[in-house]
Structure 1
Amino acid sequence: MAKSKYEYVKQFELEDTLLPSTWIVVRIDGRGFHGFSDRHHLTKPNDIRALELMNKAAESVMFKTPDIVLAYGQSDEYSFVLRKNSRLFERRSSKISSTIVSLFTSNYVWHWSQFLPDEPLQYPPSFDARCVCYPSDQILRDYLAWRQVDCHINNMYNTVFWAIVHGGRSETEAENELRGTSSAQKQEILFSQYGINYAKEPEMFKKGSVILRQPTTVSVVSEKTGQPVMREKMIPTISFVDMIKDEFWIQRPYLLGST
């Protein structure tokens, strides 16, 4: 194919190939979601409809991207883990991050009315994305543990904070009361003043959402007969489990073996 005289502009494109043989994590975050939540009247501290919408969008990304072995989400963020030897888009950071964040955002908008049918979408949501390489299994585990601990800390604080506000006090008063309190003290405030047992809060709120590919029997149409038949496929499945303890990884050795 003949080249035009304008093709020289390609030399200004920067190489952004990610390190080989490393875990790739694409983390997406909502931009301006505090205002987005207020505008769409989402329940504080947790709106289960909005969280399930996030999970649906992430599940859709995994369906479209076989190289993703695990996804973890909380609040308005999601992390997607690509296997070590992934050659998706030749490991180009910009292509990987832009594709995953656009898939996620489009599915978030597409499924909005399914999860929030009584709350019309007022304006498009926005998410940003970044790719980070983690060179070892342990560092990948530590990354996921960090996000899950962050989920617990934030949810504990927000649960108490909004219980105080919904109880009739101002946000400033709630901040002042919680300043310097321990986890045990927050749970005591919840139980003694508002009758809320934190241990009985939904696991999705406390632990976040983990999506793994699980063997699932599904109905498919046979290419030979054109009739429906049952087949076992690896389907992205959502659960609310602890990824910090060794037990999670011992029970699923195939995850870290996803080279």
Structure 2
Amino acid sequence: MANSKFEYVKDFEQPDALLPNTWIVVRIDGRGFHKLSDHYAFVKPNDRRALDLMNAAAVAVMKDLPDLCIAYGVSDEYSFVFHPTCQLFERRNAKLVTTIVSTFTAYYIHLWSTYFPSKPLQPPYLPSFDGRAVIYPSARILRDYMSWRQVDCHINNLYNTTFWTMVQQGDMSNTDAEQELKGTVSADKNEILFKRFGINYNNEEEIYKKGSVLYRQYELQQPSQEHEVGDEDESSISEPKQSRSQQDKLKKLRRKAQVVVDHVDIIRDEFWQRRPWILSGKPGKLPAADSNDTQATQ
């Protein structure tokens, strides 16, 4: 760009690079989704079409941005995770957040008709999302963040399942159902579902209870007996900075890897032990065939 007397305005731009060697989580949330879900008559308490649409848009983001190592979604929110070694956009906050939000929104709108063919989008009820970036200093804290979101998924889904069952099957008003559930714990809600309506919450679909976790699939590796899950962040941070050719090679390998959607427990160590490449940031070998415990994406 040619120099001009007006170029001084660039001096007003503020640097916004996120701290190096930290995990970056870009979390997006739907804006005004209560009104949107009511307008397009989403099924309560869970609309599988809406969740599948969220997952499809998230998969598209993962494929578009190979720097992402894992993502987790529930309801109208999604958390996208960059490894501490990520140098995308020089780790600039605004660039990372706006890229995730805009790419996700674009795919969400593009794929809408696939999941809601009889309900075309109409202004002013158009989907939009906001986002923010948060950095976490260790793999253990990142895992605690992911665990927090999955626990929140369970708590909210149990409440919503009980609430809407009382309203839809028990002919209660929203206000009466809300009052009865005030102060109840999980055991109380499970008892209401089972004794009044014959519903065993444990039999509900895993996507509703556990949310959706996205990751790239490589050949299954067995972790070392002497290596604790959660230590990977320390080793990866101490590694020398990768050259551009090394980064490009890893990106090509990640682009070739299959992005899968799972509905599993990410709180216990087992999930991370079976997929050590997520925390290490080192892609493994591409599998010869799909793993039996994952759902392949198109």
TM-score computed with the length of structure 2 as normaliser: 0.80
Cα displacement (A) at 1:116: 1.1
Which residue number corresponds to residue 204 of structure 2?
A: 201
Task: Give the 3-state SS of the residue equivalent to 2:261 in structure 1.
Answer: strand
Task: Give the 3-state SS of the residue equivalent to 2:86 in structure 1.
Answer: coil
Cα displacement (A) at 1:233: 3.4
CA distance in 2, matches of 1:35, 1:44: 13
CA distance in 2, matches of 1:131, 1:2: 33
CA distance in 1, matches of 2:264, 2:172: 34
Q: Which amino acid aligns with 2:262?
A: S
CA distance in 2, matches of 1:38, 1:254: 40
Q: Which runs of 4+ in 1 moved over 3 A?
A: none
- Aligned pairs for 1:116-131 (under 5 A) are 116-122=116-122, 123-131=125-133
Whether the aligned pair in 2 keeps the contact of 1:215 and 1:233 (CA below 8 Å) is no
CA distance in 1, matches of 2:140, 2:167: 40
Task: Give the 3-state SS of the residue equivalent to 1:241 in structure 2.
Answer: coil
**What is the CA deviation profile of residues 122-180 of structure 1, one whole-angstrom value per residue up to 9, with x for unaligned ones?**
23211001111101010000000000000000000000000111121111101111111
Question: Are residue 60 (structure 1) and residue 83 (structure 2) matched?
Answer: no
Whether the aligned pair in 2 keeps the contact of 1:55 and 1:73 (CA below 8 Å) is yes
* Structure 1: gaps of 5 or more residues: 217-231
**What is the CA deviation profile of residues 195-223 of structure 1, one whole-angstrom value per residue up to 9, with x for unaligned ones?**
2110010000000000010149xxxxxxx
Cα displacement (A) at 1:14: 1.0
Question: Are residue 183 (structure 1) and residue 186 (structure 2) matched?
Answer: yes
Question: Are residue 72 (structure 1) and residue 72 (structure 2) matched?
Answer: yes
CA distance in 2, matches of 1:257, 1:75: 28
Which residue number corresponds to residue 93 of structure 2?
A: 93
Cα displacement (A) at 1:121: 1.4
Cα displacement (A) at 1:190: 0.6
Task: Give the 3-state SS of the residue equivalent to 2:44 in structure 1.
Answer: coil
CA distance in 1, matches of 2:184, 2:136: 34
Question: Are residue 160 (structure 1) and residue 183 (structure 2) matched?
Answer: no
Q: Which amino acid aligns with 1:234?
A: A
CA distance in 1, matches of 2:81, 2:60: 15
* Structure 2: gaps of 5 or more residues: 220-254, 283-298
- The structure richer in strand per residue is 1
Q: Give the length in aligned residue pairs.
A: 244
Question: Are residue 253 (structure 1) and residue 255 (structure 2) matched?
Answer: no
RMSD: 1.4
Which residue number corresponds to residue 151 of structure 2?
A: 149
Whether the aligned pair in 1 keeps the contact of 2:36 and 2:126 (CA below 8 Å) is no
TM-score computed with the length of structure 1 as normaliser: 0.92
Greater shift, 159-168 or 55-64, is seen at: 159-168
Cα displacement (A) at 1:2: 3.8
Which residue number corresponds to residue 5 of structure 2?
A: 5
Aligned identity (percent) is 59
Which residue number corresponds to residue 291 of structure 2?
A: none
Whether the aligned pair in 2 keeps the contact of 1:71 and 1:79 (CA below 8 Å) is yes
The one of 256, 265, 270 equivalent to 1:233 is 256
Question: Are residue 242 (structure 1) and residue 246 (structure 2) matched?
Answer: no
